[in-house]
Amino acid sequence: MAIRDSRDAIRLGIEMVHQHFMLVERFTVLENVMLGAEGGPLLARGAALARAGLARLGEAFGLRVDPDARVGNLPVGAQQRVEILKALHRGAEVLILDEPTGVLTPQEADDLFRVLRALRAQGRTVLLITHKLREIMAVTDAVSVMRAGRMVAHRETAATSVAELGELMIGRRLAAPAPRPAPKLGPVLLEARNLSVRDAGGVERVKGVDLTLRGGEILGIAGVAGNGQGELLETLAAMRRPATGEIRLGGRTVFPGWGFNPAALRRQRLGHVPEDRLRSGLLRNASAAETAILGYQDDPSWRRFGLLAPPAIAAHAARLMRDYDVRPPDPALRSALFSGGNQQKLILAREIDRDPQVLLVGQPTRGVDIGGIDAIHQRLLACRAAGKAVLLVSVELDEIMALADRILVMFDGRIMGELATAEADERRLGLLMAGVSPERAA
C-alpha cells in the first residue's frame, strides 16, 4: 500500500506528533481534536462524541486535559498531550513522535514516557525519533541507528548499551588529530559565565554555559545540530541577548552593560563568521566588493567626504580576493553567484583581515568543496599561530578533531563535558553528544 499524502497515512492508522505542534492556538482542545475528524457536516454530534472520547482516552492513558481550555493558554507539556490525544482520537495504531522531549521539562518528559508505556501495553506501536540515548534506553524495545540518511544498525534495546549506540552514531574511527605545534597560550580573551539564552518562544536554548578562550588556541564546540551551539555562537557575537550570565571580551565586561551589539563588539576586535552565511554572512544581491566590507562599512579608509568610495572598496575587495584565492576574483560580481566555498573564503577574508583578537566561526566548511575546506582550515590554523583566540562551532567531528585544541560537547543547551583533542575518541564524543555524562559512561 503506497502512502502518497497525509490522508493516506491517517487512513492506515499512522499519526505523527510533530516537533512543532500542529495545533491551532486560538482553538479549544476539543476543536483541535475534532479538526479533520468532525464526524459529519455539523459539529454538535461529533463534539459530544469527541468529548466522551477524550474522557475515555484520558482515563486509559493518563492523558488528562480540559477539553474547553484554549490550547494557546496551555503549557507545552499539555499541548503535547493534546497532539497525542488528537492522534489517538483519529484511531492511531502507529504513533510517530519527533524529538518529543526537546521542549519538555524533565517531569513532563517522565509523564510522556508513562503515556508511551501505556500505549505499548494497549497494543499500539510507538516510533520515537530522538538523539537522546537515555530516552531510548528508558522506553524502547528496539532501536535503529540512522546516520547521514541511512539506517546503519538495528539492535534490541535490551541487548545493546549506551556505549555501543554512541559509537554507532559516530559510526567510524575518527582520524587522529593532526600533529601540530603545541599551542602558545596567550591571555584569556573571551570568557562566558553562567550564560543562558532563550529563543523568541521563551524556550531556554543555552543553559548556564561557562567557557574560557585564550589567545593562541582553537576551542571546538561539538554536538548534534540543534543543541544550542548556534544560539551560543550568536549570543557571543551579540546577535542575541542572553537571559542571564556574563560575557567578557579581552578582559572587559561587555554583558551585562551598554553597547552589547555586533557593531560595538566588532570595534573591540571580535570577528564573526556566522553559521548561516546566506542569512547573516552576506547579502545575495550585493556585489563581492560590498560583501567584503559588510559590517565595516563605516571604516574611513573607503570613505570620501562621508560617502562610500566605490574605487577604494573595489581595490580592497580585489586584494582580499587575491590573498584568499576567491574565484572568480571579480569584485563587481553578485555575491550569490559565487560557489559556497568562495563565498565562505570571502567572508573569512573580511573577518580575518580586520586582525581580530577573537574569531567566532560557525560551520566554516558547510557546503564547501574539498579544496576549499583545506584552504579554510589552513587559515584558521594560521590565526591560532598568530595568537588569536578561535572559537569553532561545527557538527563535523573530523573538522573539530583536525583543528581544535580542546573540545566542548554541547547537549540540550548544556556543556556535557570537555576533552583535550588528544584524548578524544569516537566513544567518548558519541556518549557526550548523546547526553551521557562521562562518569556514567565509564
Q: Between residues 9 and 333, which has the closer beta carbon with respect to other proteins?
A: 9
Residue 218, H or E segment: strand 218-222
CA distance 381 to 180: 9
Kindly indicate which of the ranges 33-41, 93-101, 121-129, 258-266 contains the residues binding other proteins, using the contact rule CB under 8 A: 33-41
- Helix-helix angle 43-61:76-89, to 10 degrees: 110
Nearer to other proteins, 22 or 52 (CB): 22
User: Which of positions 9-28 make contact with other proteins (CB under 8 A)?
Assistant: 9-11, 16, 18, 22-27
Q: Which three cell numbers stand for residue 280?
A: 547573516
Q: Is 354 helix (H, G, I), strand (E, B) or coil?
A: coil
Of the two residues 43 and 163, which places its CB atom closer to other proteins in the complex?
A: 43
How far apart, in whole angstroms, are the C-alpha atoms of residue 421 and residue 210? 19
The count of residues interacting with other proteins (CB under 8 A) is 27
Q: How far apart are CA 428 and CA 167, in angstroms?
A: 8
Instruction: Find, among 351, 342, 287, 294, the residue nearest to 314 by Cα.
Output: 287
Question: Minimum distance from CB of 413 to other proteins (Å)?
Answer: 23
Residue of the chain from 14, 29, 31, 302 that contacts other proteins (CB under 8 A):
31
Which C-beta is closer to other proteins: that of 12 or that of 146? 12
Rounded Cα distance between 32 and 28, Å, is 6
How would you class 268 by CB atoms within 10 Å of its CB: exposed for 0-12, middle for 13-18, buried for 19 or more? middle
Within 10 A of 80 (CB to CB), how many other CB atoms are there? 25
Stretch that binds other proteins, among 30-38, 114-122, 199-207, 274-282 (CB under 8 A): 30-38
Computed on alpha carbons and rounded to an integer, the radius of gyration of the chain in Å comes to 26
**Least distance from C-beta 199 to other proteins, angstroms?**
17
Q: Provide the b/e sequence for 163-198 (b: ≥16 CB within 10 Å).
A: bbbbbbbbbeebeebeeeeebeeeeebbbbeebbbb
Nearer to other proteins among residue 5 and residue 423 (C-beta): 5
**Binding marks (x or -) toward other proteins, 369..398, rule CB under 8 A?**
------------------------------
Output 30 or 436, the one with its CB closest to other proteins.
30
Taking a C-beta distance cutoff of 8 angstroms, is the pair 128, 140 a contact? yes
The amino acid that residue 35 corresponds to is: L
Question: Residue 44 or residue 442: which is nearer to other proteins going by CB?
Answer: 44
User: Least distance in Å: CB of 11 to other proteins?
Assistant: 8
Our CB check for other proteins shows the closer of 40 and 181 to be 40
Q: Which is nearer to other proteins, 16 or 237 (CB)?
A: 16
Task: Write the binding mask 37 to 66 for other proteins: x where contact by CB under 8 A, - elsewhere.
Answer: xx-xxxxx-x--------------------
User: How far is Cα 128 from Cα 115, in angstroms, rounded to an integer?
Assistant: 13
Distance CA 86, CA 109 (A): 19
- Selected from 3, 12, 19, 36, the binder of other proteins by CB under 8 A is 36
Output the smallest distance, CB 1 to other proteins, in A.
Answer: 16
Give least dist CB 78 to other proteins, A.
Answer: 17
Least distance from C-beta 424 to other proteins, angstroms?
A: 34
Closest separation in Å from C-beta 46 to other proteins: 8
Measured from the CB atom, the residue of 18 and 241 that comes closer to other proteins is: 18
Binding to other proteins (CB under 8 A): which residues in 114-143?
Answer: none
In whole angstroms, give the CA distance from residue 179 to residue 198: 39
Which residues are registered as beta bridge partners of 219? 391, 406
Q: How far apart are CA 69 and CA 51, in angstroms?
A: 13
| Binding range to other proteins, per CB under 8 A, among 2-10, 123-131, 242-250, 325-333 | 2-10
Does position 259 bind other proteins by CB under 8 A?
A: no
Residues making contact with other proteins (CB under 8 A): 5-7, 9-11, 16, 18, 22-27, 31-32, 34-38, 40-44, 46
